Amino acid sequence: MNTPTKISIRDLSKCFDGAALNALEHIDLDIPANEFVTFVGASGCGKSTLLRTIGGLEVQTAGELRVDDRAVTGPGIDRAMVFQHYSLYPWMTVMENIKFCRQLAAHTRDRTSSDVEAASGRADALLRLMGLSAVADAWPNQLSGGMQQRVAIARALMGKPEIVLMDEPFGALDAQTREVMHDLIRYVHKLEKATIVFVTHDVEEAIYLGSRVVLMAPRPGRIDTIYEVPFGDQRTQDLKHAPEFVRLKREILERIRETSGMKTDLEQLQRLSGAQVTTDTDTTTA
């Protein structure tokens, strides 16, 4: 594998005003082009902050962040971002939302009319790909949460970004819808050849989607472990029940618990109740 590095993070730290600990401390990571990398970690580990820094929405306190070997100075059309919710424009129809970037100078500068045609073709194609053709003229708040996220993803893809940054995009969806979205986003990744950086609190989701899972730890926010996911490109929902998958999931979950300090809370609880609580800690994350 000799893919060029797309995103290069060197000794990056971030401290919010008035915070005692760094939100991010000494982050070093290279993300190759076309990779699907996922980030997990206990809350407060800075995974979202790191994603937002790559997106140019936050500025690092120290260190270097380069995309295509150019230092990141702010948001750019090469890096689209998908948020957990509330990012659609309720006054626009689904189609208008998807085509929103066509209203912006950054996307229409120095373009010919054939580009405009190509763009409307792309909007139609995205609409079909996401299964939204029937609701093209609906308003976002007429759609279910899953459909709304499809629109948000289509809108992000519309400008042909080379990098798609996803901040818990399926966090508010129900489990069934999430499974459908997983296969959809994997398909989109193959089709669009974009680099996807995906933040989630769902370990199963992280393993199923990513070729690498980056585990971050809180206080201060840092990279703890990077897991290579050994399942190749052909994945189906059945994989989630394969022994290796379950083993990896357990390993990551245990590590998250160790880094989050949740263990002490359980001991406290045992002391409080005075009873012998023989809880098997191997449960899924909430």
Partner 1 sequence: MTQPLASSATVALQSERTPGLNLTARARPYMRPAEPTAPKTSRRPSNLWQVRAPISRRAYWVLAFTGLITPLVLWAMFAAWGGMDPTFLPAPLQVLEKTWFWATENDLLGDMGISIYRVVSGFMLSAVIALPLGLLIGSYRSVQALLEPLTDFVRYMPAVAFIPLVMIWVGIDESAKISIIFIGTFFQMVLMVAEDVRRVPAAQVEAAQTMGANRRELIEKVIFPSAKPALLDTLRITMGWAWTYLVVAELVAANSGLGYAILRAQRFLQTDTIFAGIIVIGLIGLITDQLFRWGHRRAFPWLYLKG
By CB under 8 A, name the binding residues for partner 1: 55-57, 75-77, 79-81, 83-91, 100-101, 103-107, 139-142, 152, 155-156, 159, 165
**Of 102 and 189, CB closest to partner 1:** 102
Report, in Å, the least distance between residue 106 CB and partner 1: 3
In which order are the strands placed within the sheet that holds 222-228?
Answer: 79-82, 163-167, 195-199, 36-41, 212-217, 222-228
Nearest to 260 by CA among 226, 225, 223, 219: 219
Phi and psi torsions of 213, nearest 5°:
-115, 120
Tokens of residue 259, six digits: 């880094």
DSSP 241: G
Report, in Å, the least distance between residue 90 CB and partner 1: 6
**Of 181 and 252, CB closest to partner 1:** 181
**Of 138 and 180, CB closest to partner 1:** 138
**Of 234 and 278, CB closest to partner 1:** 278
- Provide the residue type at 5 as one letter: T
Report, in Å, the least distance between residue 55 CB and partner 1: 5
Beta strands in the chain (DSSP E): 5-14, 24-32, 36-41, 62-67, 70-71, 79-82, 163-167, 195-199, 212-217, 222-228
Report, in Å, the least distance between residue 88 CB and partner 1: 8
Q: Is residue 243 reached through a cis peptide bond, with omega within 30 degrees of 0 on the bond before it?
A: no
The answer to whether the beta carbons of residues 177 and 19 sit under 8 Å apart is: no
Report, in Å, the least distance between residue 250 CB and partner 1: 21
Give burial (CB, 10 Å; 0-12/13-18/19+) of 91.
exposed
Strand-pair partners of 195: 163
**Of 1 and 91, CB closest to partner 1:** 91
Report, in Å, the least distance between residue 50 CB and partner 1: 15
**Of 25 and 162, CB closest to partner 1:** 162
Q: Alpha carbon of 7 to those of 30, 50, 67, 212: distances in Å?
A: 6, 12, 5, 14
**Of 108 and 281, CB closest to partner 1:** 108
Strand-pair partners of 197: 37, 165
Report, in Å, the least distance between residue 269 CB and partner 1: 27
Instruction: Work out the number of other CB atoms within 10 angstroms of the CB of residue 175.
Output: 9
**Of 142 and 237, CB closest to partner 1:** 142
Report, in Å, the least distance between residue 244 CB and partner 1: 24
